[in-house]
Amino acid sequence: MPEPPTKAYGEGRTQTNVSYEDIERAAIAILKSERRPTVETVREALERGSNGTIAEGLRRFWRDLGVRIEGDPAALSRMPSASVLSQPFE
């Protein structure tokens, strides 16, 4: 009986890495839909990522949002452009 074909290392794996930018885009989209970004809602929107990575990113998101609201001019220069915020999640 022939052996089933084997996959090369890493073949068939899905992308699991989540960047801060992914978390930030998802959190902003969730806020725009009048919901609170949580680990669960961000993970649902991204369809990937570990709870720890998303939680760390959300802590940074809330901290940065506070700085933006205070009107720190330096923070405004770090804000993503509107085109980045409107990109679909992949």
Kindly report, residue by residue over 21-37, the tens digit of the pLDDT.
Answer: 999 999 999 999 999 99
User: What does the pLDDT read at residue 72?
Assistant: 56
Identify whether 31 is part of a domain.
yes
Residues 6+ apart with CB under 8 A from 64: 24, 75, 78
- Nearest-angstrom CA–CA distance, 49 and 72: 30
User: What does the pLDDT read at residue 55?
Assistant: 96
Q: Can you give the pTM of this predicted structure?
A: 0.61
Identify whether 73 is part of a domain.
yes
Identify whether 11 is part of a domain.
no
Identify whether 66 is part of a domain.
yes
| pLDDT tens readout for residues 38-70 | 999 999 999 999 999 999 999 999 999 887 777
User: What does the pLDDT read at residue 17?
Assistant: 87
Identify whether 54 is part of a domain.
yes
Number of compact structural domains in the chain? 1
Q: Please report, to the nearest 10 degrees, the dihedral formed by the alpha carbons of residues 19, 25, 36, 65 taken in order.
A: 90
**Amino acid identity at 35:** R
Identify whether 1 is part of a domain.
no
- Does residue 20 surpass a pLDDT of 80? yes
Identify whether 5 is part of a domain.
no
**Amino acid identity at 81:** S
Sign of CA dihedral 32, 35, 37, 39: negative
Q: Which residue has the higher pLDDT, 88 or 84?
A: 88
Residue 49 belongs to domain spanning: 20-85
